[in-house]
Amino acid sequence: MDNLDMKILSRLLNNCRESDRQIGIELGISGGAVRARIRKMQKNGVIEDFIIKVEPPVLGYGVLYFVVSGENISEILEQANLVGEPYFMVPCVGGITVCGISIKENMNQKIELARKLMKDVRVLTIFEAENPGFNSNLTKTDLEILSKLIKEPRQKIEQVAKNTQMSTKTITRCLEKLHENEGIQFTLVYDPQKIENFIPHAILTWIEGDLKETLEDLNELFSESYLQIPFIAKNQIVLFMYSDSIFKMDELTQKVRNVEKIQSADLFIPKKILFYNKWIEKAVNGFKKSPRLHLSYQTN
């Protein structure tokens, strides 16, 4: 892996539907060269899969995050399933695992249930994510197209039209709507351990003060080190970054902690990244049976 590979990976993480040609124009190389590097990353196992990441609030779900001491994925997953629908799971260096569970209702009860169920692992922290206010206003048509794209996010518009028996105009309009939704991202899953010469890492920050102003400060200082665009909640910003050494990673973390309005910043180095889309399929299929024409949620 070289710096050009990381820049291609970064663009695909932020929008895996971006064409090879467009990525090449941005990076000053040919579309064919971009395609060859993507195929090499797939062959080497760096790129595992292209996915659609949907934030649970878009489909009317809450999110419960917890950090546990332990890396037994099957055991943690089994207990998480008793609380809600697993959303993601990330085992990290240091023997901890970060988990996200989508919760349909009774959040406070589910938090207590999670505490009781996690008997065999040490729960370091557990909390409900404060919602940034994602607006969905998705129609049944949007959800039908979304359900097809979940299987292959990089499908050509013509192929999606064929699979849904809709016009290419309808597909194009829907894709524009999905891209504009901050809670929906066309991205990919990568294997951190297969990335040679670089260390992907995440810095979870807790903010005191103006979130937008703090994000602007962080972007100005650290955007060159971003692997993905930051994830934003009401009092949190998660920075997804990469460094070429542990010393650079430590330096970046300390600089983030010194930014004004940053209350605290915790470093996580992922060993594996797992996303689960069953909850999305369940939510979409449930809405298809509903008499409503729109799935409209707004949470603040």
Check if the beta carbon of residue 86 is closer than 8 Å to that of residue 77: yes
Check if the beta carbon of residue 167 is closer than 8 Å to that of residue 100: no
Q: What are phi and psi of 93, to 5 degrees?
A: -60, 135
Task: Give the mean pLDDT of 225-241.
Answer: 90
Tens of pLDDT along 186-223?
999 999 999 999 999 999 999 998 888 999 999 999 99
Lowest mean pLDDT among 117-121, 134-138, 191-195: 117-121
Tens of pLDDT along 82-118?
788 889 999 999 999 988 888 887 777 777 777 776 6
Compute the residue count for the chain: 300
User: What domains are there in the chain, each with its CATH number?
Assistant: 3-44 (1.10.10.10), 53-191+273-300 (3.30.70.260), 197-268 (3.30.70.1150)
Residues 6+ apart with CB under 8 A from 85: 61, 101, 102, 103, 104, 276, 278, 279, 282
CA distance 56 to 53: 9
Residue 299's pLDDT band, with cuts at 50, 70 and 90, is very low
Task: Give the mean pLDDT of 240-252.
Answer: 96
The SS3 assignment for 249 reads helix
Q: How many CA atoms lie within 13 A of 157 on its CB side?
A: 12
Put simply, whether the predicted model's pTM sits higher than 0.95 gets the answer: no
Tens of pLDDT along 18-56?
999 999 999 999 999 999 999 999 999 999 999 999 988
